[in-house]
Amino acid sequence: MSTPSDKPPRHSSGGTPADPAARPSRRRSTAEYELALVAEYENAPNGEKGAILRREGLYSSHVIEWTRARDASRLGDGPAEPTEPTRKPAEQIELDRSRRQNAKPTSDLAKTRMALDITGKAHALVEEPSGSTDEDRPPTRS
């Protein structure tokens, strides 16, 4: 016979047992660590590169991203934490929106003008006399 204290704790929704593990947090690394790992990865022979990634719990995309940042001189110069992007002023946002709205009709107008120009030229070619007259007779067979 089981007592109420023998049952595992449940969420208030009555579903699964409560998870005792804490929520995982995003891993953050310093620029020095990233630079050292990129150097170690680049100097390792081809067969050992995977072992470095497994040892550190990383993916090759991490190393590729850090290598690009190093080559662009963004790694090691600034803070290890990403900075918040600067926000555009409201006037700039409105101006950008207006420009986007204006771009499509302007593009459509240019296409329409080009089509009319082509149509006009085709019409002029059709109307142009072909150099033959009505008096010309078709060639006769001999």
pLDDT range class, residue 61, cuts 50, 70, 90? very high
| 8 Å CB contact between 99 and 55 | no
- Note whether residue 134 is domain-resident: no
Residues 108 and 75 in one domain: no
Angle between helix axes 60-71 and 31-43 (nearest 10 degrees) is 110
Examine residue 135 and state whether it is found in any structural domain, yes or no: no
Q: In terms of domains, do 38 and 69 share one?
A: yes
Examine residue 1 and state whether it is found in any structural domain, yes or no: no
Shared-domain flag, residues 75 and 101: no
Q: What is the pLDDT of residues 67-126, one digit of tens each?
A: 998 888 876 555 445 556 678 888 888 999 999 888 888 889 999 999 999 999 999 888
Are 64 and 100 found together in one domain?
no
Number of separate domains in the chain: 2
Based on the fold, state whether residues 70 and 110 are members of the same structural domain. no
76, 104: one domain: no
Domain extent, residue 107, equals 96-126
Q: pLDDT for 2-45, tens place per residue?
A: 455 555 454 444 445 566 777 878 888 888 999 999 999 999 99
Model pTM score: 0.38
